[in-house]
Amino acid sequence: MKKQPATVSAAPQAATAITASDFQFIPREEKAADTVVRPSVSYWADVFRRIRQDKVAMISLGIIVIISLMAIFAPFFCPYDYATNNLSAINQPPSAEHWFGTDQLGRDLWARVWVGARVSLLIGLGGAIAPQIVGIFLGGISGYFGGWVDMFIMRVIDVGLCIPELVYVTLMMLLMGSGPMAIIATIAMVGWMGSARFIRGRILQFKNREFVLAAKAQGASPMRQIFRYILPNILGQQVVTITAAIPGAIFMEAYLSFIGLGIKSPMTSWGQLSQIGSSVFRTSPYQLWIPGALISVTILAFYLFGNSLRDALDPHLRD
Amino acid sequence: MGKYIFRRLVISIITIWLIATCSFFLLHMLPGNPFATDQILSQDMIDQLMDYYGLNEPLWKQYLTFMGNLLHGDFGTSYKYAGQSVNGIIAQKFPISAQLGLQAYLLSLPLGILFGIIAARKRGKAIDYGLVAFAVLGVSVPVFIVAALLQYVFAIKLQWFPVAQWKSFSYTILPTLTLAIGSIAGRTRTMRTLMLEVISEDYVKTAKAKGLSSAQIVWSHQIRNAIIPMIPNLGLEIVSILMGSFVVEQIFAIPGIGAYFVNSVTGLDYTMTLGLTVFFGVFVVGANFIIDLIYGLVDPRIRVVK
Amino acid sequence: MSEHLLEVRDLAVSFDTYAGEVQAVRGISFYLDKGETLSIVGESGCGKSVSIQTIMKLLPSPPSRIKSGSILYRGEELVTKTDKEMESYRGKEFSMVFQDSMTSLNPTMRVGRQLCEGIIKHQKVSREKAKEIAIDMLRQVGLPNPEKTYMRYPHSLSGGMQQRVMIAIAIACNPQILFADEPTTALDVTMQAQILDLMNGLKKRLGTAIILITHDLGVVAQMADRISVMYAGKIVESGTADEIFYNPRHPYTWGLLGSMPSVEQSSRAAKSELLSIPGTPPDLFAPPKGCAFAARCNYCMGACLKEDAPEFKADDGHMVRCWLMDERAPKVTPPVGKYAAVTGSAPAQIPAKEEG
C-alpha cells in the first residue's frame, strides 16, 4: 500500500490553542448567531455606490450636467439674440465681445451654440426615449398576448428591419418637414422595432414567473402585470439602453442637419451650425470647430457614462 | 439550404415592393406639387407640366404605371433636371459614390477585424488601451469633423493630398479615409468584444486541451467563430457608409449621387426621390440578401435552425 | 519518492477578480497511479474543476493564479512550465473530457477536423493518415457509421454522440491520464451508463489513468478506485472507494452519502427519508477561519470554529480533515457507512482494487 504523501498522521503544533473544552458540540441555534451577516444593500444603492466610485462615469456625468445647464441658462444671460442678424459684424472670430465669434450673418455664435445645444440635447433625449416607449408598448402587447397579435407585430418588424434607415428618414422628412419633432419621429420610426423585439423577449421570459402569476391570480389586469410587475425587472437594462441611444440620436440630428434635411435656419442645432461652419471652414474654421467639439465631447460623455452605467448595473459584463 | 435561400429571397422581394409602394403613396399624399415652388411658371404651364408627367391621372393608374416601369428597371424622368431620366443620373453619378463607398468598405473591413483581434489578444496592455481609445473616439466624433480634421491636416497644412474634388486616385484617399474611420472604430470595438467572448468558450478550452499552439487556436477556433456573429451587421454597415458618403461628398465636393438625393427631397422632385429611394432600397436589400447567403454558408447551424 | 504517475502537493489556486481574490483551491494534495481511477467528489463550486484544469494549465492567467504547491508528472514539475512547454503534454500525456459536449465542440468545424488537429499535432502524421486514425477512433468509441460522422457538424449529433466524439478526441493520442469533468452530468440516465461503460472499457484496454470529477456518487461507485471528497477548496476526506463508502469519517461525506437514494433505503419504511445538507457552501472571497463546513455541520464543536482541522489518519491512506478524529472529541456514530443501518450502492458495483 502506498502512503499518501501529504497526509500528516498526528495533529500539528497549531493545535495547541485548542483545548479540551473546545470539544463540545455547539447547538445549531447558537452557531447561527455567530455567523457574520453581510450588510444587505439594496440593488439600486449598490449601483449608485459603484457609479460614484467610477471616475470616468463621474467626469462624464459632470460634463453632461455642465453642458445641460449651459444649454438651459446660457441664452438667458447672453446680450445677443440667437436669430438677430448684424451685418456690420459678420464672420468675426471669437473675442471679448462675441465669445464664440459671429457667423456669416453676424449672429452671435455663443447664443446660437447654446440654443443649438437645447435642440440637439432635446433630440438626443427624445430620440432615445421615443423608440423605447413605442417599443415597450408594442413589444409588451406582442409578448404578453401572443397569438395572432404577436404574429402580426413580429412579421411587421421582420420586414420593417429590412428597409434601410435612409428610406425611413426620407419618407418621414417629406411627411413631417424639418424640425426637432420630425427628427425624433424619424428616430422612433427606425428604432422601435429593435426595442419591441427585445421587450417581447423579456416579457416572454417573465410572464410565467411565479410573482407575475401570483399577481394574475389576484386579478391584476394585463397592463398592470406588464407595467407594475414585469417592467420594473427590466428597468435597469432599459436605462442602459436609453443612455446608450442618446449619442445615436444626437448623431442622427447632426447628420440630417448637416446634409440639409434637418433643422433649418434661423432655428439652429449643433448639426446645423456645423453645416454652416463647414461651408466657411477655409476662412473661419472656428465656426466648425466649436459646434463640432461640443458634439464630440457630449457624445463621448454620454457614451462613456452609458458604458459605466452598464457595468454598474451588471458587474459581470465588466471587461 | 435551399429553403433558407428561398425564404430570404421572398422576404427581400416583399421588402422591395413595400419600399416602392409606401414611398409612392406617401409622396403622392404630400401637399403641393413639384412645380409650385418655381415662381416663373404660370398656372397654365404648371397644368401642362402636370399633364405631361401624368400627374393628373387617378392615383391607382399612376401607381400601376410606376410599378410597370419599375419592373422594367425604369425609374422615370426628373421633374427638376429637365429632360434627364433618373436612370441616367444614377448611371452617371452612382459609380462615383459606389467607388468611394467600396474603397471605404474594403479598407475598414480588414482593418477593423485586425484591430479588434489585436486588442483582444493584447487585452489590458498598452496597445489594447490605445485601440480602445481610438475606437471610442472614432465612434464619438461625427464624420464631418473627421473630414474637416483630415482636410485641414493633410491637405491644407501638409499639402499631401488635394483638398477637394474627384479627379484621380490621390483625390479619393482623404474621402475614403474619412468614411472608413468611423467603421473601423465601430468594428474594432465589436470584434474585440466578440473575440473576448470566444476566448472563454468551452471549445477553445477543448482546443487547448488537445495541445494546439495558441496561434492554431486563435486562427482556426477563435477568429472564425468571432467573425460569424458580425456578418449580419455587415449589411447595416453598408447603409451607414452610404449615408456617411453623402456628408463626405458634400465636404470634399465630390460629384456623387448624394447631392441629387438631398436636393430631390428638399425640392419635392417626386420621381427623383422615389427613384433614388427605391434604388437605394434595392441596393441595400440586395446586399443584405447576399450577406445572408454568406452567413448561411459560413455558419452550419443557420441552415438547420432557420 | 515520485513513483506516482501524477502527484499534486499542497496546490492553491486563486482568481483575481474585480471584487477581490477568490480562493478557489486552498491547498490540496493527491496522487494518481498508472491505470487507476481517482474520483474527486464535491458540490459545484468546491474547486474540483479548477484543480484539474490547473494541472493541465487550461485556466487563463490572469485571472487565475497558482499561489503555491507543486504538480509532479513522472517526477517533473509542471507548475513552472510555460504555456508553450505544456503544449506537448496536453492531448498527448493528459487529455480532458468536459461536462457540456455541446459547447465543448467547435460548432463551426466538422467533427473530423476537430479530431485530426490533435492527431496531426502529436503523432506527426499526414492528413490522410490522421483521417484514418480519426475514423478508427470514432469507431472505437462506438459511433455508428464513423466515416459519415467524420464529416458532420457537432450540432447535428445527439448529446450522447457528442460526448463520444469528445472522448474520441481525448483518447486519440493515447494519453496517460484522462481528466473527466462531470462527463455524464449533461446526459440522460441511459446515456450516462453507456458513456461510463465506454470509459471503463477504454481504461482497461489502454491502461489510461482517470481522474473523474463528479458530484454524482452513483457514478463514483461504478468507476472509482480511490475517492477524494472536496469541500470549499480543500480535500476533507480521501481514501479507497471502500473506505469512503463503508467507513466514511467526515460529516460532509456522511451528508453526501446520506443524500444519495438507494434501493435498500427506500425499502425500509422507517428510514425512507433522504438526508440533505442544510445551508450553502461558504463564500470563497473570505473563507472562514475554522473548518469551512462548520456552519453546516451537525457535529460542530468549538474547535471547528477556531481553527481548521489538521489531516488525521483514519487508516493507512485514509485521510480525514475533521476535529471529530481528535482523541479529545466525543465519539460519534456515523449516520451512514458500515456502522449505520443503511449503506450506499451495492458493494458489487465497486471495482476491486488494482493497486498493490
User: According to the model, what pLDDT value does residue B303 have?
Assistant: 59
DSSP string, A146-200: -HHHHHHHHHHHHHHHHS-HHHHHHHHHHHH-SSHHHHHHHHHHHHHHHHHHHHH
Distances (CA, A) of C40 to A288, C32, C49, C228, C234: 68, 12, 9, 5, 11
Lowest mean pLDDT among A223-227, B96-100, C13-17, C109-113: A223-227
Residue B247 to residue A173, Cβ atoms within 8 A: no
Inform me whether the C-beta atom of residue C319 falls under 8 Å from chain A C-beta atoms: yes
| CATH fold label, B90-263 | MetI-like fold (1.10.3720)
Inform me whether the C-beta atom of residue C179 falls under 8 Å from chain A C-beta atoms: no
Closest chain C CA to residue B123: C62
Are B120 and B192 a contacting pair, CB within 8 Å?
A: yes
Inform me whether the C-beta atom of residue A6 falls under 8 Å from chain B C-beta atoms: no
**Residue C191: strand pairing partners:** none
Per-residue pLDDT tens digits for C148-169: 999 998 888 888 889 889 989 9
User: According to the model, what pLDDT value does residue C264 have?
Assistant: 53
Inform me whether the C-beta atom of residue C117 falls under 8 Å from chain A C-beta atoms: no
For strand C6-17 and strand C64-73, is the pairing parallel, antiparallel, or unpaired? Answer: antiparallel
**Mean of the pLDDT values across residues A18-34?**
66
Q: Between C351 and C323, where is the model more confident?
A: C323
Q: Which of C105, C121, C122 sits opposite B203 (nearest CB)?
A: C105
Q: Between B187 and C342, where is the model more confident?
A: B187
Torsion of CA A215, A220, A223, A229, to 10 degrees: -20
Of B23-27, B232-236, C73-77, highest mean pLDDT: C73-77
User: According to the model, what pLDDT value does residue A54 have?
Assistant: 84
For strand C177-181 and strand C37-41, is the pairing parallel, antiparallel, or unpaired? Answer: unpaired
Domain residue limits, chain C: 94-174, 247-342
Nearest residue to B189 via CA among B111, B115, B110, B105: B115
Per-residue pLDDT tens digits for B55-93: 777 888 888 888 888 888 888 888 777 778 888 889 988
Q: Between C242 and B44, where is the model more confident?
A: C242
Residue C310 to residue A318, Cβ atoms within 8 A: no
Per-residue pLDDT tens digits for A115-139: 999 999 999 999 999 999 999 889 8
Give contacts of A 228-267 with B, CB under 8 A: 247, 251, 254-255, 258-261
Of A126-140, C281-295, C308-322, highest mean pLDDT: A126-140
For residue A30, pLDDT beyond 80: no
Per-residue pLDDT tens digits for B27-42: 777 766 666 655 666 7
Q: Tell whether pTM > 0.90.
A: no
User: According to the model, what pLDDT value does residue C337 have?
Assistant: 59
> Chain A residues with CB inside 8 Å of C307's CB?
14-15, 17-18
| Gap between the Cα atoms of A116 and A272, Å rounded | 8
- Best probe of the B interface among C82, C108, C156, C211, by most B CBs < 10 A, is C108
User: According to the model, what pLDDT value does residue C326 have?
Assistant: 82
**Mean of the pLDDT values across residues B4-10?**
85
User: According to the model, what pLDDT value does residue C346 have?
Assistant: 37
Are B33 and B50 a contacting pair, CB within 8 Å?
A: yes
B160 CB-contact burial (10 Å; exposed 0-12 / middle 13-18 / buried 19+): exposed
**Mean of the pLDDT values across residues A184-191?**
89
Residue A163 to residue B18, Cβ atoms within 8 A: yes
Inform me whether the C-beta atom of residue C180 falls under 8 Å from chain B C-beta atoms: no
Helix (H, G, I), strand (E, B) or coil at C67: strand
For residue C271, pLDDT beyond 60: no
User: According to the model, what pLDDT value does residue C336 have?
Assistant: 66
For residue C307, pLDDT beyond 90: no
How confident is residue C334, by pLDDT bands cut at 50, 70 and 90?
A: confident
Residue located via cell numbers 389586469 = A221
User: According to the model, what pLDDT value does residue A32 have?
Assistant: 52
How confident is residue A167, by pLDDT bands cut at 50, 70 and 90?
A: confident
Residue B301 to residue C96, Cβ atoms within 8 A: no
User: According to the model, what pLDDT value does residue C261 have?
Assistant: 66
User: According to the model, what pLDDT value does residue B132 have?
Assistant: 92
Helices A231-259 and A270-279 pack at an angle, to 10 degrees, of 20
Residue A7 to residue C313, Cβ atoms within 8 A: yes
Per-residue pLDDT tens digits for B164-217: 788 888 888 899 999 999 999 999 999 999 998 888 888 998 998 888 888 889
> Chain B residues with CB inside 8 Å of C117's CB?
207, 210, 212, 216, 220
Torsion of CA C162, C164, C167, C171, to 10 degrees: -130
User: According to the model, what pLDDT value does residue A315 have?
Assistant: 56
Domain residue limits, chain B: 90-263
What is the ipTM, given to two decimal places? 0.82
How confident is residue C347, by pLDDT bands cut at 50, 70 and 90?
A: very low
Of A10-19, B1-10, C112-121, highest mean pLDDT: C112-121
- What share of chain C in percent tops pLDDT 90? 14
User: According to the model, what pLDDT value does residue A299 have?
Assistant: 93
Per-residue pLDDT tens digits for B102-117: 999 999 999 999 999 9
Residue B140 to residue A247, Cβ atoms within 8 A: yes
How confident is residue A302, by pLDDT bands cut at 50, 70 and 90?
A: very high
The stretches of B72-166 forming alpha helices (DSSP H) are 86-121, 126-140, 143-150
Closest chain A CA to residue B232: A162
> Chain C residues with CB inside 8 Å of B205's CB?
53, 58, 98, 104
Cis peptide before A12 (omega within 30 of 0): no
Residue B221 to residue C153, Cβ atoms within 8 A: no
| Helix (H), strand (E) at residue C30 | strand C20-32
Distances (CA, A) of C342 to B56, C251, C267, C271: 97, 16, 11, 8
Chains contacting chain C through 3 or more C-beta pairs under 8 A? A, B
User: Quick one: how far is CA C46 from the chain centroid?
Assistant: 11
- What share of chain B in percent tops pLDDT 90? 19
Q: Which of B140, B261, B284 sits opposite A299 (nearest CB)?
A: B140
Strand order in the sheet with C20-32: C20-32, C6-17, C64-73, C76-77
- Best probe of the C interface among B122, B200, B201, B206, by most C CBs < 10 A, is B206
> Chain C residues with CB inside 8 Å of A35's CB?
295
| Gap between the Cα atoms of C253 and C256, Å rounded | 5
User: According to the model, what pLDDT value does residue C275 have?
Assistant: 64
- What share of chain A in percent tops pLDDT 70? 87
User: According to the model, what pLDDT value does residue C262 have?
Assistant: 59
How confident is residue A8, by pLDDT bands cut at 50, 70 and 90?
A: very low
User: According to the model, what pLDDT value does residue B40 have?
Assistant: 66
Are B130 and B185 a contacting pair, CB within 8 Å?
A: no
Lowest mean pLDDT among B187-196, B297-306, C266-275: C266-275
Lowest mean pLDDT among A31-45, C286-300, C303-317: A31-45
Lowest mean pLDDT among A160-169, B26-35, B126-135, C221-230: B26-35
The rounded mean pLDDT for chain B is: 85
**Mean of the pLDDT values across residues C320-328?**
85
For residue A219, pLDDT beyond 60: yes
Chains contacting chain B through 3 or more C-beta pairs under 8 A? A, C
Q: Which of C18, C316, C355 sits opposite A315 (nearest CB)?
A: C18
**Mean of the pLDDT values across residues C327-344?**
63
CA angle B9, B15, B16 (to 5 degrees): 95
Q: Which residues contact residue C113 at a Cβ distance below 8 angstroms, ignoring those fewer than 6 apart?
A: none
